[in-house]
Amino acid sequence: MSRRNPRTLLESVTRRRFLLTGWPWRALAYLLTTPPVALACAVPLGLLGLPWLFLLSRGTGLARLPLGVLAFLLLLGAVLLGGFGPLLAVPLGGLERARLRLVDSRPVAAGHRTPPARDPWSWFRTRYTEPATWLALGYAALLATVLLVLSGAALALLLLVGVLIAAPLLVVSGEGAVSIGVTQVATVGEALPYTLLGLVLLVVVPYPMALLAGTHGLLARTLLAGGTHARLRTELVEVSRSRARLVDAFEAERRRIERDLHDGAQQRLVSLTLQLGLARVEIPADSPGAAAVADAHEQAKVFMMELRELIRNIHPKVLTDRGLPAAVRDLADQSAVPVTVDAELPGRLPNAVEATAYFVVAEALTNIAKHSGGTAARVWARQRDDLLTLEVRDDGRGGADPGRGTGLTGLADRVAVIDGRMLLSSPPGGPTLLRVELPCSRNDP
């Protein structure tokens, strides 16, 4: 068990020194303050629920009520509770979150959204349409009924323990027999056994009281912070959607840059290289400018090769035109290590998935050539049930470590952007297997 200090009452109960800490007193304070709050909540809830209370009081005579009266009372109770209940539940939730600190030291945030300031009715519209308000109303109903009874019973038990311990003093100070529960004692001798029983219970009772208060606190935290979880889930969904939009926009921008370089800068560079080549042929070899033209021609050809490589790294045209299998085979043809490709896909994939898979294979083959010392590699790709699986295997020395700057961390980050996952097996001595799973859907053009 962890030795850190307990943060909740339920955690503290399991510790051996529980009775020597302040948690039993915090549990007592929580139980003592529960009935006043519960009664203050029960009165307005009872008034709002009078139509339903009237129906419950009818008992067996409920069947004799006209159907219209029964429906009207049910509807009236629902309207009253639904219309005015949130006005009680919202401040109660704030009070209970503050009181929760007695049994749970962890921070708890309200699940309420911030209403727009420009609209005077926005507070009501926001509060009546968010889950946190109705969860707080449900907690208020539990507090005014079940939790009120349980806390009252716990305090009655504690009062009984106090009476048992003080029984001799009650006998001495009183006149005649003193009632203790269902029995009576008239002398100090008769009261002493009850005092011993009270002392034993004084050691035992804090545990069930702590369990009751801790369970109450856990319920309060679940309901009063439940709207926070719903809001966070909504925000997480929105973040996922915005991330998907950013990925799509990024890939579209990559394709635009690749297209502009391919159709614009590269074509002009090709034209310049041809013109320099023609000028190199026409200028006599012994003329003063021949050497400069020849040097410019060679530099233009080198720059054209570098530009083609740059365009391929930005977004390969073969990937856009022919899809992932053809692009992977193109990578295999350019690899310094012999690569076998086994890629059978039923059709085109989403652009982000194809781009991620391509660059994963490209980076993996680059790592094999630079670091593995292998003599052969194999790329395998399949799509099943909207899941693209890629495997890149080599027969190298193994021992690939993301912490050594081999690009594996960057691959994992790229895969995580589209909610994929990357698995790596690279024992010392090899072989190395890189497996990537990317969620996708059919996107046949």
The model's pLDDT over 321-331, given as tens digits with 9 standing for 90+, comes to: 788 888 888 88
> At residue 229, does pLDDT exceed 90?
no
Question: Average pLDDT for residues 21-49, to the nearest whole number?
Answer: 91
The rounded percent of the chain whose pLDDT value lies above 90 is 15
Are 317 and 310 contacting, i.e. CB atoms less than 8 angstroms apart? no
> At residue 27, does pLDDT exceed 90?
yes
First to last CA, the chain: 57
Q: What is the DSSP letter of 28?
A: H
User: Which of 66-80, 117-131, 211-225 is the most confident on average?
Assistant: 211-225
Would you state the pLDDT for residue 55?
72
Q: Can you give the pTM of this predicted structure?
A: 0.53
Q: How confident is the model at residue 108 (pLDDT cuts 50, 70, 90)?
A: confident
Q: How confident is the model at residue 211 (pLDDT cuts 50, 70, 90)?
A: very high
List the chain domain ranges.
9-224, 256-314, 321-439
Mention every residue, 6+ apart, whose C-beta is less than 8 A from residue 379: 328, 332, 339, 340, 341, 342, 343, 361, 365, 390, 391, 392
Question: Residue 178, CB half-sphere, CA atoms under 13 Å: how many?
Answer: 21
Nearest to 431 by CA among 366, 363, 375: 375
> At residue 243, does pLDDT exceed 80?
no
Question: How many angstroms separate the CA atoms of 298 and 304, rounded?
Answer: 10
Query: Could you tell me whether strands 421-425 and 387-394 are parallel, antiparallel, or unpaired per DSSP bridges?
Result: unpaired
What are the tokens at 194? 């009850």
Are 33 and 127 contacting, i.e. CB atoms less than 8 angstroms apart? no
Would you state the pLDDT for residue 261?
64
Would you state the pLDDT for residue 1?
39
Are 30 and 217 contacting, i.e. CB atoms less than 8 angstroms apart? yes
Question: Average pLDDT for residues 186-193, to the nearest whole number?
Answer: 83
Query: Could you tell me whether strands 377-384 and 339-344 are parallel, antiparallel, or unpaired per DSSP bridges?
Result: parallel
Would you state the pLDDT for residue 242?
57
Phi then psi for 375, rounded to 5 degrees?
-110, -5
Number of Cβ within 10 Å of residue 61's Cβ equals 8
> At residue 444, does pLDDT exceed 70?
no
Question: Average pLDDT for residues 68-77, to the nearest whole number?
Answer: 75
Question: How many angstroms separate the CA atoms of 191 and 184, rounded?
Answer: 9
Which CATH fold topology does 321-439 show? Answer: Heat Shock Protein 90 (3.30.565)
Backbone conformation region of residue 232, classed left if phi is above 0, alpha if psi is from -120 to 50, else beta: alpha
Question: Average pLDDT for residues 170-190, to the nearest whole number?
Answer: 76
Would you state the pLDDT for residue 445?
40
Question: Average pLDDT for residues 369-384, to the nearest whole number?
Answer: 87
Question: Average pLDDT for residues 13-19, to the nearest whole number?
Answer: 89
> At residue 289, does pLDDT exceed 90?
no
